[in-house]
A and B are shown apart, each in its own frame.
Chain A
């Protein structure tokens, strides 16, 4: 997220709608991407984005600039996304969600080769994130995608550094195991792979 000038934040905190729109333009991609990675569902990510900006709008007048605006937005976004994940314990198949994301991204324009490649990559990321629980997902997103260090992650999630470390470790172990199972499926003959996939 680009650094948002202080005078825009101050103007928005005084109710300036134009300044608030500027904040939305600069931060919405950042907020939506994190929400999408953590919820792993485009519709939920849109709801989270909306909630996050309502919270920003309501609480901006109380923001004292003690921490950076970015850290503050990280915290609101991750917590809102995690709460959404906890509240919505739905039994929707991840595959359907991925299909809706792919169709959403391809809307309106023909699927070029690059777009198809991007959609495939997005699908891979979502498959990997689907292996993790929401807390592990939040840690992986903040570490791998946002590039935060352990101290910064612990501040955003309000947990201690050892918890950050152990969540990342568990997440990577889970991703390794998933990768192994995928490789096994690819190497096995098709019939056996189907049989393996039906195993509990």
Chain B
């Protein structure tokens, strides 16, 4: 660990020197490539240091991103971090593609009904707790205080759907890091993926209601159409991409990494522009490939898994660099209260609704559901764009929650997997 720490300090010193050299130049060029390289290298060695301290590597990636990012030491310019959106989208697509290849029909048949039932329970209870807390905090939250009761109810419902959301990316990254395999791991992965689908539907409905409460009128057809388009459109696009990929792999058989990267970017960019979920697009593509041709699914899985280390390190270090620490200071108390209540709600509902045939689910599953990251960020940004009157303040609150969840979530997820007894190795080469 000493070697890794020394290398990390040296890297930070080089970044500081580049920052000093920049001060001599009147005009600077693009900082995106610098941000990518610096965050990747810092993330890799911070991950090693974190591992030496008994923490998940992912926590190291996030923390070093925060430290060298624009909101702490400022060695990496904000524009550079912002410019990594394409990389982030690509990483989410590739991670979801890998996760999709694990969604075999057999697994869905085995645990699908149980997962769906538990998902409804956990999401329902967490939503109600969040909703009640937000409405009760109305006099203390500036963006709710001036609203009428119906408006406050609608906005509380909207924000609560975001409060419920989970993080499939963090879960998949920790599963890869620990090489966890087994029924508990399958259950956890399926739950976070299905949970986020439920959240997407609930969010679209709550957004429609909120718009109506502010005088925009309730367009039920448009509302259902929007939800349907996001879900079924994403699956449809995912299926098209899967067929294209399969065709390519069978006919062309060359330049597969380049093609996968291209397809990942298509998934991320098309998802964003067509109002589809990039996560769902890639999940559907991965799942269809795995179920149509298991051998090709394994090829994709291995190809992306081998490249997992740089993808995870860069993605999470960039996520850390983007965390607005000042948001934590301004809305900290309210955010921390929501974090605590969400954790209690998830814990209680898991204990209450988990299948009794596997006691590990009731005891440890809740720890795997605490993380929040990409999907939550996306929904918060959507609120900010859709409701410019109060959205930016909601975004600050949610980002403060994500900051807390990103720091404690990975630790808890790894602990859940360790206690379930399904961790095979913490030293899986080439993984997060």
**A, B bound:** no
Write the residues of chain B forming the contact surface with A, with a CB cutoff of 8 angstroms.
none
What is A's interface to B at a CB cutoff of 8 Å? none
